A and B are shown apart, each in its own frame.
Chain A
């Protein structure tokens, strides 16, 4: 069967610990996507993570114009004035076609606990905006606290490793909005087990480009012993639904 892939986890921009083969531009990302057969990607800018969200988010929009790339902004709590207040942030996202957010609390020195990011998470939850979070930016206790305070949050965990089922399952059972990137969930037959227990709607295709190869993420889906419809959901459908868009770009 032919699958269309919509990558939930790619990056452009220069970054500090770049290995020799990694690329940095949107053109190079699109070229690699074409080589491996990925149609679209949700992308954030490295400068938004490593330098300043207000700078990197603008660079992202400027660099992805007219490409099969959708923007994902990096956000901070607004208290220091580095980020608009939640209502203004929402207005800007709508005006500029941004439908997803990422947070880097460890790298950027804040917490997603309610006393610090509660207003931001309230807005994200109330508007059904997908929030992406690298697992090295948080811990399972904090994920549980975030979801306890914001039970309808659409939270997708990225780069979450394979040693996680004993933490993951109880949270998956309790919170329907908790999802994860499939590629780094390298539990043997784990894709099948998650689909059986929680449904294919809880997994998203993500490559990790340009940090990691795309081939592993693709093979994990094409060889999965799940239905074709479940494969379509993981490869493309779940992200498209989260971003509330049709195949229009």
Chain B
């Protein structure tokens, strides 16, 4: 029996463990209702579960208005220091100088990674419009979280090329490409590229895929994320806590890997 499974079965917060949510958001979302979407609401749910910290990219920033969204995250970082960290989110659909300046502004203000969402911004991840973002992250040696899939604008296989081109960027494959097939693509990418990591959140937790990724890609390359408040955080906690892996592997996935990659104490 797992310590994590015991605690989650009883609804006990995991505050004595290190849980860092490497993939979360904030705010409203256009096409559906999120009843509890503020930074305060997120921290309340994190407290209930025992998530020590999260790294947030605002819904407005991954869609319509990068500056509005980034400002909301900067405010949340001030309101909840040590609990909410920020991804500087970049839209490729504005002039390169503006994109770079926005990233510089956010990182200078304390954000610790870069987030891109090629699907929502309607631009292929290897399109030249994303070059300023990749160059910025590479120059600063920042972690970069991207939405991914097995096809479309952000297929996992494309990140293998980008990882080689921008070796200083620690690339987090958001959602690990989704599902069982996405997990297979992600495992290959992680094995091929030392600077690629698997981030696991997804609304459908296909049975046994987390165990497959830990077994084949390595527990030191798989990161816990929840998508909060785009999704409820609790299912992803249950997914890791009940997984058929060791407690030491769960500790790596839940927080030790993120602490190392993002340099969070």
Q: B-contacting residues of A (Cβ < 8 Å)?
A: 1-3, 19-22, 35-37, 161-166, 183-184, 186-193, 209-220, 222-225
Contact = CB atoms under 8 A, between A and B. Distances in A.
Nearest to B244: A35
Contacts of B95: none
B11 interface: yes
* Size category, B interface: 35 or more
Interface of B: 5, 8-11, 31-37, 41-42, 45, 48-49, 179-180, 203-212, 228-244
12 contacts: A19-B179, A21-B207, A165-B32, A183-B235, A188-B36, A190-B232, A213-B210, A213-B238, A217-B235, A219-B239, A219-B241, A220-B232
Contacts of B37: 188
Contact of A21 (B48, B179, B212, B228): B212
A225 B9 CA distance: 15
Contacts of A184: 203-204
Contact of B238 (A35, A191, A219): A219
Please indicate which of the listed interface residues B33, B48, B180, B235 has the most CB atoms of chain A within 10 Å of its own CB: B235
A218 B33 contact: no
Contacts of A1: 10-11
Contacts of B243: 213, 215
Given A189-B45, A209-B207, 16 more contacts: A20-B208, A21-B209, A163-B32, A186-B232, A188-B45, A191-B232, A211-B206, A211-B207, A213-B238, A213-B239, A215-B5, A215-B239, A219-B238, A219-B239, A220-B232, A220-B238
B208 A21 contact: yes
Contacts of A35: 244
B207 A212 contact: yes
Contacts of A218: 8-9, 238, 242
Contacts of B240: 215
A227 to B, nearest CB: 12
Contacts of B35: 165, 187-190, 193
A188 B9 contact: no
The 10 residue pairs across chains A and B that have the minimum distance between CB atoms: A21-B208, A219-B238, A215-B242, A216-B235, A222-B11, A188-B229, A163-B32, A215-B238, A189-B36, A165-B33
A26 B180 CA distance: 22
**Which of B9, B36, B45, B238 has the most C-beta atoms of chain A within 10 angstroms of its own C-beta?**
B238
A151 to B, nearest CB: 25
Contacts of B233: 188
B242 A214 contact: yes
Given A187-B33, A225-B48, A215 B209 contact: no
Contacts of A191: 232
B11 A223 contact: yes
Given A163-B32, A189-B232, A210 B242 contact: no
A68 B209 CA distance: 26
A219 B8 contact: yes
Contacts of A219: 8, 234-235, 237-239, 241-242
